[in-house]
Amino acid sequence: METVRSIASKNVFYNPDTGDFLDEMIYQGKFMLVVDVLLPDSSDEEKMGCTSKQLHWSRSIGNKGYVWTYLIDNQLLFSKKKKLYERFIAPGPFSKFYTEINRSSPGRLGVCLGRLANYAFLLARAS
């Protein structure tokens, strides 16, 4: 996994000093696409560093709606606050909404969202 992460980091470019939180999520999603290509037989739980229960939570339509509503209502998508990385991108036992859903959510939820956004973009381009 570390070798793949090293390869991905050398092939997916991003300057964290100029981007906002949405840019960071998209970058992390591109990074995960490279990991998906290089490790097609590895489980999503292994690649994302979460449990199957947390992965299921992140894929639930209701939870996706809650997460996007939270990010939009709190004006976080275009924020340049560095703490957002710690809350939603960095590895951890859960993402930090500072609400009752904290412990249910997977860590690195922003990475999951960025990955899904990149796959949606690729699918749109293919059709």
User: How confident is the model at residue 11, as a pLDDT?
Assistant: 79
Closest CA to 47 of 83, 9, 5: 5
- Please name the residues in contact with 14: beta carbons below 8 A apart, sequence gap of 6 or more: 23, 24, 27
Written as tens digits, the pLDDT of the chain (127 aa) is: 778 878 888 878 777 777 899 999 999 999 899 899 989 999 999 888 888 998 899 888 888 889 999 999 999 999 999 899 999 999 989 999 998 888 889 999 999 999 999 999 998 988 7
CB atoms within 10 A of CB 97: 18
What's the whole-model pTM score?
Answer: 0.86
- The tokens for 113 are 């969202």
Contact 80, 20 (CB under 8 A): yes
| pLDDT score recorded for residue 7 | 83
